[in-house]
Chains A and B, each alone.
Chain A
Amino acid sequence: MKNDYVIRIGGAAGDGVQSSGILLSKTFTRHGLHVFGYNYYQDLIRGGNSWYQIRVSDKKVKNQGDGLDILIALNEDSLNRHTNPEINEGGASYLRGIAIFDESIKNYEKRDFVKYIPSPLNAIASGISKNPLLKNTVALGMVVSGLNLDLDIFISAIKTVFKGKSLDENIEAAKQGFNYYKEHYEIFGSLPNGNKKKILIGGGEAVGLGAAVGGIKAYVAYPMTPASSTLHWLASHSKDLGIFIKVPEDEISAINTVIGMNYAGIRAMTGSSGGGYDLMHEGVGLAAMLEIPVVIYESQRAGPSTGLPTKTEQGDLLMIINSSHGDYPRAVIAPGDVEEAYYYTREALNLADKYQMPVFIVSDLYLSERIESVEDLNLEFKIDRGLIANENDENFLRYKYTDDGISPRAFPGMKGLMHNEDSDEHDERGDVVSDAITDPVKRKLSVEKRMKKLETLKKNLPLFKTYRLDDANIVLVQWGSTKGVVEESADILRNKGYKVGVLEIKYVFPFNTDDFIAKTSGKKIITIENNYSGQLANLIKMFTGVETLKINKYNGEAFYPSEIVNEVIKLGGD
């Protein structure tokens, strides 16, 4: 029995494509089903061509999926576009299933692999009210019916999304759509019922939740797609979580404000996409020099410059690892899915405090703007503020030279620990060694003190995660958002008889050279990245000397499993 369906809702910006997609996804997770949803949208507020793709199954869904089983076409363009085998949408599949659309759409090219279901979407909707978006709910009702799902659960999902008059209208639209399909068409497919309601959460929301559980008291950020979903989620919970939200005048202000907050003793975070992060580099170097913890959420989009504001890419990795002048320690973490976005964000806050250095959570549009079902999220978390001095400690040295490089912090307001934190090179006490007479001995010791923290961190970081790697002779190496699609590609290749496993790089920097060599030696190594130059491949080469084979996609869209499978076979999957 087929237990995996891909559904697409296509229309123009402003048609309610995304909200319909999220509503349908919630209906699925309330049935105990697993979901992956991704918004294919453009950089405009009204018009154009956008669609929302949902993949649903009773098993964990790891990516948006190949194939297309059900299409809701909200306009003629969408109907023609998604039924065309020559579809030119960055790797997306064309429809081989049912198309639900308003009966007024007549002018389309008939394909024999499509079952066309022209329906009175507008007629039903206008019979209920003047709200033009009601037709979406009618169409969703038809899909719910076509997949033999529970109308009451669909209505319960509607109740969490709509309020007041619009709630009643939408319930009526759902019922009529559901019944219309039932009366006129046969069940298209059935999904096994899941056992337990699932959490449905977006990548950006998961970062926000991780930050909240990780103990932030403030989030300061300038809006920028695709990092804004975190800002929006935190802002909507500012009062109940007691988290201060500020949109400052620019990203330079954001990073410096957050540095001031962490210096003063609270946990505070900032976030942006590459273009906004570009403005933060100098501030990140400041945090490194003063040894002030700071966590930066960098959600990449296709660049350079404005690039493709609503499309994904993994093009910022080397920039982040090399950003800001001078030699300094930092940590770069790349969660692979929504669940990891939650867990690694809260962990990043502990690492930043413990090692007193900038820590990056690197995401991208594909991860930040997807929604995924998750079985559960553990809210219990031990906040570790790291080393903090005792008040009136006469031996207090803010930058004490220690074996592991870590020295005690002191916050303003603490008695007897007054000191200066300086962007100039300084000694153990914090006194400047760069002005009257530059002190080369202390300069050397201070550089080594800071860099020792990186060595300490490297020793304490977990080893690389793997997926089906044990008996593999081909290792697919991935970082960040591609985790799920690469894992599924490995599964497909295994089914075809190839011995393929995955090495997942979460802690990209500091890079664990020994572990990489241990886990990949003797295997064919293929890096898979959403960028042109293979930035992870270059990093691997820099640290290990190993030249990998490369699979790269850089047209703005995320990988589909079939693309990776075909490329691996082409690269000699023996």
Chain B
Amino acid sequence: MVTLKDYDYHVKPDWCPGCGNFSQWTAIKGALVELGIEPHNVVIVSGIGCSSNMPEYIRAYGFHGLHGRPLPVASGIKFANSDLTVIAYGGDGDGYYEGLNHLYHTAKRNIDIKYIVSDNEVFGLTTGQASPTAPFGFVSKTTPPPEGSLEIPVNPLTLALTAGATFVARGYSGEIKHLQSLIVEAIKHKGFALIDVLSPCVTWNKIATYEYYKERVYKLKDNDLTDFEGAYKLAMQSGDKIPIGIFYKVEKPTYNDLDPVLKQGPLMKRGTEIKKEILNEFY
């Protein structure tokens, strides 16, 4: 039986005390244990940022790559070996600024990757600049007062929905059990899953705090998971009421199901056999 101890790595996180990433660390490991997945069959791929250090702290196969690029790497891994559970992980700067292009295309391909984004509205590791999800008017080192940020924030959920993602959810670091249940459902889902996690940055973001979210977050109940327009409307909700939970979930063939080469099974398990006839076309 798989236990939490199996995922215990000798390197421990060095995030700021109280960082929302700790909850995600716990919830990811908890979900993998709950599903009985063994660590050697798990790959956690991340980008660059505070949250992206995650693979360094979990005893599984870890890949800590480039800023904004966890999804192409994760896609490559899933294309190569569909037997693996592939989790892509990173922050909002990583996924919604530098890597946004990849999010759209990975979602529309419905590659069976679980993408968890620690969304704290700031660049933590580079000392608190406004990120793509920072609200309009957000004041930071790079968006000084009185104007603050002059961009409207990216809405990752509507973006994923319009891209064709088959599983769209939002979690909150203050609700670990709920977050774990979302990750469990995402892994069980066959296809691309985005979980945007509201995750307070206790050092750099003095607005989107635990207190702020505690007053606003509510859990979705009984929403029709296959209703695209309903999901879209819920994803547009902001301000005083912020829904968390699964917004949308539909079954569609994954890219590996559709591709004539991939659907024959994991590439990893195939040998190379070149027949002499390959040269015929050149004569």
Interface residue ranges, A against B (CB under 8 Å)? 29-30, 160, 197-201, 205, 209, 212-213, 215, 217-218, 220, 237-239, 241-246, 248-250, 252-254, 256-266, 268, 282-283, 286, 290, 377, 379, 383, 411-424, 430-432, 435-436
Cβ-defined contact, B41 with A29, below 8 A? no
From A218, A241, A254, A259, contact of B274 by CB (8 A): A241
For chain B, which range describes its interface: under 10, 10 to 19, 20 to 34, or 35 or more residues?
A: 35 or more
Cβ-defined contact, B75 with A412, below 8 A? no
Quick one: closest A residue to B69, CB to CB? A256
Cβ-defined contact, A244 with B64, below 8 A? no
- Which parts of B52-87 form the interface with A (CB within 8 Å)? 53, 55-56, 59-66, 69, 72-77, 79-81, 83-84
- Contact partners of A262 in chain B: CB under 8 A: 76
- Contact partners of B80 in chain A: CB under 8 A: 217-218, 260-261, 264-266, 268
From A242, A412, A432, contact of B40 by CB (8 A): A412
- Which of A209, A239, A411, A415 has the largest count of B CB atoms less than 10 A from its CB? A411
Cβ-defined contact, A243 with B101, below 8 A? no
Cβ-defined contact, B61 with A383, below 8 A? no
Give, as a whole number of angstroms, the nearest-CB distance from A91 to chain B: 29
* B270 lies within 8 A of chain A by Cβ: yes
Not counting A212-B272, A212-B278, a sample of 18 additional A-B residue pairs whose C-beta atoms are within 8 angstroms of each other reads A30-B283, A199-B282, A200-B283, A212-B274, A217-B268, A242-B267, A244-B259, A257-B75, A257-B79, A260-B80, A263-B77, A412-B81, A413-B41, A418-B61, A423-B66, A432-B53, A432-B64, A436-B14
- Contact partners of B264 in chain A: CB under 8 A: 242
Cβ-defined contact, A201 with B282, below 8 A? yes
Interface string of B254-283 (1 = CB under 8 A from A): 000001111010011010101010110111
Give, as a whole number of angstroms, the nearest-CB distance from B131 to chain A: 20
* B102 lies within 8 A of chain A by Cβ: yes
- Contact partners of B274 in chain A: CB under 8 A: 212-213, 241, 379
- Contact partners of A259 in chain B: CB under 8 A: 65, 73, 76
- Contact partners of B56 in chain A: CB under 8 A: 420, 422, 431-432
- Which of A252, A256, A415 has the largest count of B CB atoms less than 10 A from its CB? A256
**Assuming A241-B274, A418-B40, is B262 touching A412 (CB within 8 A)?**
no
- Contact partners of B148 in chain A: CB under 8 A: none
**Assuming A249-B105, A435-B14, is B76 touching A220 (CB within 8 A)?**
yes
- Contact partners of B74 in chain A: CB under 8 A: 260
Give, as a whole number of angstroms, the nearest-CB distance from A280 to chain B: 11
- Contact partners of A379 in chain B: CB under 8 A: 274, 276, 278-279
- Contact partners of A30 in chain B: CB under 8 A: 283
The 4 closest A-B pairs by CB, nearest first: A260-B76, A420-B62, A256-B72, A264-B80
Cβ-defined contact, B73 with A383, below 8 A? no
Cβ-defined contact, A260 with B40, below 8 A? no
| Alpha-carbon gap, A250 to B11, bound state (A) | 35
27 contacts between A and B (CB under 8 A): A201-B282, A212-B272, A238-B260, A241-B278, A244-B261, A248-B72, A248-B75, A253-B72, A256-B65, A257-B72, A258-B76, A260-B73, A260-B76, A260-B80, A264-B268, A266-B81, A379-B279, A412-B41, A412-B42, A413-B84, A416-B40, A417-B40, A420-B56, A421-B62, A423-B66, A430-B62, A436-B14
* B137 lies within 8 A of chain A by Cβ: no
Give, as a whole number of angstroms, the nearest-CB distance from B76 to chain A: 2
Cβ-defined contact, B84 with A412, below 8 A? yes
Cβ-defined contact, A283 with B69, below 8 A? yes
Cβ-defined contact, A252 with B69, below 8 A? yes
Quick one: closest B residue to A373, CB to CB? B282
| Alpha-carbon gap, A421 to B56, bound state (A) | 9
Give, as a whole number of angstroms, the nearest-CB distance from B185 to chain A: 23
- Which of B14, B56, B101 has the largest count of A CB atoms less than 10 A from its CB? B56
Give, as a whole number of angstroms, the nearest-CB distance from A256 to chain B: 4
Give, as a whole number of angstroms, the nearest-CB distance from B124 to chain A: 13
* B139 lies within 8 A of chain A by Cβ: no
- Contact partners of B276 in chain A: CB under 8 A: 379
| Alpha-carbon gap, A213 to B278, bound state (A) | 10
Cβ-defined contact, B53 with A435, below 8 A? yes
From B40, B60, B102, contact of A414 by CB (8 A): B40
| Alpha-carbon gap, A433 to B249, bound state (A) | 41
* B235 lies within 8 A of chain A by Cβ: no
Give, as a whole number of angstroms, the nearest-CB distance from A411 to chain B: 7
- Contact partners of A417 in chain B: CB under 8 A: 40
Cβ-defined contact, B73 with A244, below 8 A? no
Cβ-defined contact, A253 with B105, below 8 A? yes
- Contact partners of A265 in chain B: CB under 8 A: 80-81, 268
